[in-house]
Amino acid sequence: MPELWGVINVTPDSFSDGGRFLDAEAAIAHGKRLLEEGADVLDVGGESSRPAGKAHGDGFTPISATEEIARVVPVIEQLAGELRARVSIDTVKPEVAEAALRAGAAIVNDVRCAQTPALAEVAAAGGAEYVVMHNRGRGEVRPPHTNYDDVVSEVLEELLRGARRVEAAGVPRALVWLDPGLGFAKTAPQSLALLRSLGRFQKTGYRVLVGPSRKSFIGELAPDPSGGAPSVDDRLGGTAAAVAHCVTARVEAVRVHDVHVMRQLIDMMKALAEPAEGAP
């Protein structure tokens, strides 16, 4: 069964919960709550990565490495130190990754598909795991970034090229993850195609992380009865369906906001998969 990576956005403008956990104490309390609910990893980010497009307008607002470090390091120190959590730092900046690893993080989650060699070098020096998430540009959900002849094959090939760059920087293959990057530089049908094809990513031999939680493609593919898109906070059912599909596809991890519900879902699917008591 997959690990559950719980999201902690120490940001004012993330698409789902921007501003709720910008205060360090609120973020630490949220992390403790996610651990109690069954999170295996806490994925901490200090800069939003919401992509530009119909759902999110102009997308995220970049911040300096100094500001990002100030947001995430106090949170990571408490979560990885006092609470002994396994922590991932969601960043594209080498300086932030280095500070986060010193503070106790053990994973670098790179949403720019390993385009910055120095980021992988920092991870290698720190003995960290490395997530290569597929992306193009800043994730804009519009042409030319969404122009694919075969979205599954092209995303897979671009991910593998990113993984090779990470390994060339010194991160062992066994520590590299692939993430298809649902919703980043992809339309809703393209994200759906990737979900349907997770087996191809599994066959690479890399561990696979998938992040479907509350994303806009759910609102497009599963609209309200009125035809409108459900709000971010009203996509729990669609998220659960996507996570259940990930469980069936045997991916190694899913990144979610609603840890309690998804832990229950995974435990129930595990129980259903076990032989019935007394069965021949």
Strand partners, 87: 42
Give backbone dihedrals phi and psi of 74, rounded to 5 degrees, phi first.
-60, -35
d(CA 178, CA 174): 11
- How do residues 40-70 score in pLDDT, each as one tens digit? 999 999 987 666 555 545 556 778 999 999 9
| Nearest C-alpha neighbor of 229 from the set 58, 18, 15 | 15
Range with the poorest average pLDDT among 38-52, 67-81, 126-140, 240-254:
38-52
What is the percent of the chain where pLDDT is above 70? 91
Range with the poorest average pLDDT among 5-19, 20-34, 231-245:
5-19
d(CA 239, CA 265): 11
Q: What is the mean pLDDT of the chain?
A: 91
Q: What is the 3-state secondary structure (H, E, C) of 19-33?
A: CCCCCHHHHHHHHHH
Number of residues assigned to the chain:
280
Is residue 176 in some structural domain? yes
d(CA 274, CA 53): 43
Catalytic amino acids?
215, 255
List the CATH number of the domain containing 268: 3.20.20.20
Cis peptide before 280 (omega within 30 of 0): no
In the chain, the amino acid numbered 47 is E
| Nearest C-alpha neighbor of 7 from the set 34, 56, 43, 33 | 43
Number of Cα atoms under 13 Å in the Cβ half of residue 152: 12
Is residue 7 in some structural domain? yes
Is residue 82 in some structural domain? yes
Count of CB atoms situated within 10 Å of the CB of 132? 31
d(CA 217, CA 212): 9
Domain coverage including residue 68: 3-273
> Cα dihedral sign for 143, 194, 177, 168?
negative
Is residue 280 in some structural domain? no
Q: Are the C-beta atoms of 159 and 113 separated by less than 8 Å?
A: yes
Is residue 278 in some structural domain? no
- How do residues 177-204 score in pLDDT, each as one tens digit? 999 999 999 999 999 999 999 999 999 9
Q: Examine the pLDDT at 146 and tell me if it is beyond 50.
A: yes
E strand intervals along the chain: 3-9, 41-45, 87-90, 107-110, 129-133, 176-179, 207-210, 253-256
Strand partners, 43: 7, 88
Is residue 32 in some structural domain? yes
d(CA 34, CA 42): 8
Q: Are the C-beta atoms of 43 and 52 separated by less than 8 Å?
A: no
Is residue 180 in some structural domain? yes
| Structural domains counted in the chain | 1
